[in-house]
Amino acid sequence: MYITDYGLQELEFFEKFSNKDKDGYLYFGGIGGIYIFHPDSLPQNSYKPPVIIENFFINGKKTSINKDSTLILKPSRNNLKISLSVLNFIQSDKNKYAYFLENYDTAWIYSGNKYQINYYNLPPGTYFFHYKGANNDGIWSKTNKPVKIIIRERFYNTIWFYIAIFAFSLILLTSFILYKQYVKKQLKKKKELLRYTSSNLSKDFINEKNSEMLQFLETKKPYSDPDLSLQKLALSLNTKPNYLSQIINTKHNCNFRDFINKYRIETAKELLLNTNLKIEAVAYDSGFNTLSTFNAVFKKETGTTPSKFRNNSEK
């Protein structure tokens, strides 16, 4: 270990020509003469040298960094090559290196005098690169402040991507359900329309039954019964419910419920104008079984509420 740097000219010594005396001095005989020294007299380098990152390459491209650097890298930029340098110039070939990539390496790696470090295909994550060095006598430096390295997740592995996919799927599913409901509703309307307009009843029968129905409604006022149904009215007129439904649609261009409600609303208007009955009583006397239904139908037919209708009439 201590040859050229300490003035020893040759490495050739005579076999068995060595001795150690009682004081610990060592004697060696060789072709250049006798060498005498005491091991305690050998100087030790106690200097704790600083260690620097001399070069830092990302995917083969040199990158400038400092001790306070935080590298934020794309997922594809995950190949690192790092060159360290121990700033000790006494027998610098005996400098040693150690490093540790936190969250990747499991322990410190002591690489001897190997100062170049390679990491390939690092997975996404947050890492801290620690490094230190030793001088020619094995005196280690303090651990440097680590370099923080963040390799981002690929966009399809992030939580936001999954949230976006979930939200998009939810919107797509909701849109599909609403569309199905819309199509179903349209088909139902179409079927109802076809049912009414494709009547095979004769015009004379339709006119005769319509007149009979109108007379029955005027005289008997069955619409005042909240439970009046198409079947009940058809039975009273001695005809089939589907015939009566077709007649109402053909002659009055509406369904049974809307047709009967028009009579009820006319009755309600008369009661609102000519009596002091409460709105709820007017609703029941007109043939509605709930106040909310009465209010909704009244507004649909007249464009206003029962109370406003009465107030406007009083003015």
Averaged over successive runs of 10 residues, the pLDDT of the chain (315 residues) comes to: 52 81 88 80 82 92 81 91 91 91 94 93 93 91 88 76 84 91 83 58 90 94 94 93 91 93 95 93 94 94 93 79
Q: For the range 60-65, what are the long-range contacts, defined as Cβ-Cβ under 8 Å and sequence gap of 24 or more?
A: 65/147
CATH 2.60.40.10 in the chain is located at: 51-157
What CATH class is the domain 51-157? mainly beta
Q: What is the pLDDT of residue 1?
A: 40
Query: What CA–CA distance (Å, rounded) separates 215 from 135?
Result: 118
Q: What is the pLDDT of residue 30?
A: 78
φ, ψ (nearest 5 deg) of residue 212? -65, -40
Bridging pattern class, strands 147-151 and 70-73: parallel
CATH 1.10.10.60 in the chain is located at: 199-314
Query: What CA–CA distance (Å, rounded) separates 286 from 306?
Result: 12
Query: What single letter denotes the amino acid at residue 38?
Result: H
Query: What CA–CA distance (Å, rounded) separates 263 from 279?
Result: 17
Query: What CA–CA distance (Å, rounded) separates 209 from 242?
Result: 13
Count of other CB atoms within 10 angstroms of residue 151: 20
Angle between the N-to-C axes of helices 159-197 and 241-252, in degrees from 0 to 180, rounded to the nearest 10: 90
Structure tokens at 219: 């005289």
Enter the CATH code of domain 199-314. Answer: 1.10.10.60
